Amino acid sequence: MSDTQLVFVYGTLKKGEPNHEWMSEWEAGSFSFVGCGKTALKFPLVIASRYNIPFVLDRPGLGHNVAGEIYKIDSAMMNRLDELEDYPIFYNRKQTLIHLNDGTEQMCWMYIIEKFRDDLLQLPFLEDYSAQGTHGLVYCERLMRDNPQEYSVINDIQGN
């Protein structure tokens, strides 16, 4: 694979989660699993919006060392993930240090929300996301969304 970058996924892109196929069933780009790990810094990971979307909020120091998976991806796959995450309009992405479970560490891209309503910090902070977790907040996939005119996820999260 030429032209590769590392991405750390903590939400619906993880194996077994609702958007993993976005990566695994797309032939035009490549990805390979590197390992599991945790963010070196603590971050608030919350589930929010009417579609129960997981978000890491850009407030390092709050919350937990978030668990996730590291993938090596090419630039076509990076573009593909950016499309899903609506980068840079909704999620931004930043390089952050990840401690891998094998004891090594790597700087990886992570999708993160920079602009958000203050009261999202009142939500429970998760450490290891699963759409089917005991929180009961099952993720609503894009294709299943009702997309009413009066509701915008971005405005909801950003508090516009």
Q: Which residues are catalytic?
A: 85
Among 12, 39, 49, 96, which residue interacts with ligand PCA (rule: CB under 6 A)? Answer: 12
* Amino acid residing at 73: I
Give the separation between CA 63 and CA 68, rounded to whole angstroms: 15
Residues 77-106 that bind ligand PCA (CB under 6 A): 85
Asked if 47 interacts with ligand PCA (CB under 6 A), we say no
Q: Please state, in angstroms and rounded to a whole number, the distance separating the CA atoms of residues 55 and 74.
A: 24
Binding flag, residue 49, ligand PCA (CB under 6 A): no
CA dihedral 74, 77, 82, 83 (to 10 degrees): 150
9 binds ligand PCA (CB under 6 A): yes
Closer of 74 and 112 to ligand PCA (Cβ): 112
Q: In whole angstroms, how close is the CB of 10 to ligand PCA at the nearest point?
A: 5
Residue 126 interacts with ligand PCA (CB under 6 A)? no
Closest CA to 82 of 23, 25, 16, 36: 23
Give alpha helix (H) positions in the chain.
20-24, 75-85, 153-158
Strand, coil or helix: 81: helix
Q: Which is nearer to ligand PCA, 13 or 73 (CB)?
A: 13
C-alpha 129/C-alpha 81 separation (Å) is 18
Q: How far is the CB of 134 from ligand PCA (least distance, A)?
A: 18
Helix (H, G, I), strand (E, B) or coil at 130: coil
Q: Which of 53/74 has CB closer to ligand PCA?
A: 53
10 binds ligand PCA (CB under 6 A): yes
Task: Give me the residue whose beta carbon is nearest to ligand PCA.
Answer: 11
Q: Which residues bind ligand PCA (CB under 6 A)?
A: 9-14, 54, 85, 111
